[in-house]
Structure 1
């Protein structure tokens, strides 16, 4: 749902927080994961943090998922792993 909210444009963390029944630290944890993945871009403005989608990264993700789904019936190479 966070990604859906950000698809409409940049939002302040406080606006995102109001939409969920989460604590501020929990939201920060989730936003940190999205930012580390590169899917979300943070921007600080004084004491406020604003978030927006990294549309280029989402395009890459969509292409990757599309390739996986279209290759579903094709032969795959499996590696012998020791873990």
Structure 2
């Protein structure tokens, strides 16, 4: 399996898109948003994202022991989340600290919003 490099997502480009239930996405819009969903499509990354989002910030030293995976594998998954624009990171000495990018999740949530139009279920 070949390794693919994900481009860093421009969150300003994501903000341009109306909810997908309003009208079909243009190809270029889908190409911008897809890496974010792809990053969340892996169970390890989804769990990492959940752990990071549950606190203001989290050290990689606290994330790694929660998985039966090597440190480099966890670092790879965190890199994918960072390149997808879902988390920010900051190196402090030996360790890297991660925090969620709330604007990214607000924009993804807005894309997935479905209005029933009748005020009901």
TM bucket (normalised to shorter chain) is 0.7 to 0.9
What do you get for the CA RMSD once the two structures are aligned? 1.3
Unaligned runs of 5+ in 1: 72-83
- Specify which of 62, 65, 68 is matched with residue 109 of structure 2: 62
More strand by share: 1
Alignment of 1:12-51 (within 5 A): 12-51=59-98
Name 1:5's counterpart in structure 2. 51
Matched residues in 2 for 1:50 and 1:27: separation? 13
Q: Which runs of 4+ in 1 moved over 4 A?
A: none
Tell me the TM-score normalised to structure 1 length.
0.76
For 1:43 and 1:34, how far apart are their aligned partners in 2? 14
Name the larger-Rg structure. Answer: 1
Q: Aligned pairs, how many?
A: 68
Distance, in Å, in 2 between the alignment partners of 1:15 and 1:22 is: 13
Residue matched to 1:75:
none
TM normalised by structure 2 equals: 0.53
Query: Post-superposition shift, 1:9?
Result: 2.1
CA distance in structure 2 between the partners assigned to 1:9 and 1:2 by the alignment:
14
> Of the two structures, which has the highest relative contact order with CA contacts closer than 8 Å and spacing of 6 or more?
2
- Give me the whole-angstrom Cα distance separating, in 1, the residues matched to 2:112 and 2:81: 18
